[in-house]
Amino acid sequence: MSKYTIMICDHIHQKGVELLAKESDITVVNVDTLPKDKLLEVIKDADVAITRSSTEINESFVKAAKNLKAIVRAGVGIDNVDIDACSKRGIVAMNVPTANTIAAVELTMAHILNSVRSFPDAHSELKNDKIWKRENWYGTELKNKKLGIIGFGNIGSRVGIRAKAFEMDVITYDPYINPAKATDLNVTYTKNFDEILRCDIITIHTPKNKETINMIDKEEVSKLRDGVILINCARGGLYNEDALYEGLKSKKIRAAGIDVFTKEPATQNRLLDLDNIYVTPHLGANTLESQEKIAIQAAEQAMLSARGVSFPNALNLPIKESEIPPMVKPYLELTQKIAFLGAQANRGSISSIKVITEGEISNYKDSLLTFALVGALRASVGENINYVNATYIASERGVKIESIESPNQSGYKNRVTVKVATDKNTFKISGTVFDENVQRVVDINGFGLDIEPKGKMILFHNTDVPGVIGEIGTILSKHSINISDFRLGRDKHGHALAIIIIDDEATKETLAELKSINACLDIAYAIL
């Protein structure tokens, strides 16, 4: 019988350790107290490593872990895991994304209650200062107050259920869910973010990505209802901390309950100097029940992956050259990229994802579909989407998926097309791979193009009239944005599609100004 070594690099609940120790084919090596510089000397013996946030899974770690098959991050956050480094070595990186759900939900409710009733301050005045002044601590009731929930997934939806029990008026903004998920819970669904900004209390429960970082910034703070309360128990940086500080200092924001910060540990954060903020040191998963569940699930995943049975919640997929033909790998990468591009360009609740293949690559159309799902859903699901759970998540969200082979009439030896349909529109992107693995997008919504799927892209759809390119260049120049590439496709109906690759980030103001060009029919922005 084969024996597998599972190394515990950071402290986990004892129940997880006991679960591993019971297995006759598992050798448990617990090095959670070993200095991290010594860890690299022993990790070479591990088949699977269980870590938390204290261990950096970087190139040095991966290089030292010569026998490692998999890493299990005991928790949801993977900021300390270099996914690319793991993938290059064929190491599967996994996390435990749902074990702390209830803990995070209840912490959110605690922060809401603290913020409306000032419990920490009243407690401190009585306990530490021995002052009994009830008149100092008039709060407000949750009943009939409007709660805005940004992100209505696993955690946000459960916050909504509990808020309804307090007889709150709940409204949610989440462009990536079916509105019925909210309305079935008697929660109002909105596509207008400004409606959230008019709420009495706002809480955010989204992944951290380019779309959600600084989701509430200076502009959004100016639109907030006076005396609003903001809660963040999700990820640091979703609220811009400078804008939050100014809003709290001016009392535009009455109070904030914050569990997460842009930079942690946050002992020197100036938000701590304010008297109307209630803070906790990233306690979202810190309950005994949550820690036990995380440890048990991490141990179970470690055993399955050590034995090669499965890789639950895998965040990557090792590409083994011996098992996948060399010509297939760049098509897998290309398919994921163009699906991600399609989802960014066609933002909304995804209803269907279809992969259409032409040529020899059609033999791998089902694998290409998996990569398309990961690419298309990553914008809304974030880091929790992976090659193992992509089909399941698509099914759970009611997304229709399909892969079909089409007669090869494109003129390319192989071509892959991804169609992403949302409640707003359908976006269709085709790509191919030329010699030496040169990936190219060759068609977007019927406009013939030739462009590398890479970089910051503005997709500008317009009526094909003189002067448009000049107007685009003038606006980008005004905003100090350099154009690195400009590709144009035209159709037979008097329309054109420009793909503008830029060196600098395009702000909302820049995109709004481009959209105001008279010839503009639509505009989208994507980053690959």
Contact in structure between 276 and 248 (CB atoms under 8 Å): yes
With H, G, I as helix, E, B as strand and everything else as coil, classify residue 210: coil
Contact in structure between 426 and 353 (CB atoms under 8 Å): no
Residue 40 CB coordination number (10 Å) = 13
HSE of 222, CA atoms in CB hemisphere, 13 A: 2
Q: What is the 3-state secondary structure (H, E, C) of 280-321?
A: CCCCCCCCHHHHHHHHHHHHHHHHHHHCCCCCCCECCCCCCC
Residue 357 CB coordination number (10 Å) = 24
| CA distances, 77 to each of 98, 236, 496 (Å) | 11, 11, 42
Closest alpha carbon to 382 in 209, 178, 153: 209
235 is catalytic: yes
Local structure of residue 234 (DSSP, 8 states): S
Out of 235, 347, 415, 487, which one is annotated catalytic?
A: 235
111 is catalytic: no
Closest alpha carbon to 335 in 427, 411, 441, 422: 441
289 is catalytic: no
Out of 167, 264, 289, 509, which one is annotated catalytic?
A: 264
C-alpha–C-alpha distance, residues 258 and 392, integer Å: 33
Out of 13, 111, 205, 282, which one is annotated catalytic?
A: 282
The catalytic site residues sit at: 235, 264, 282
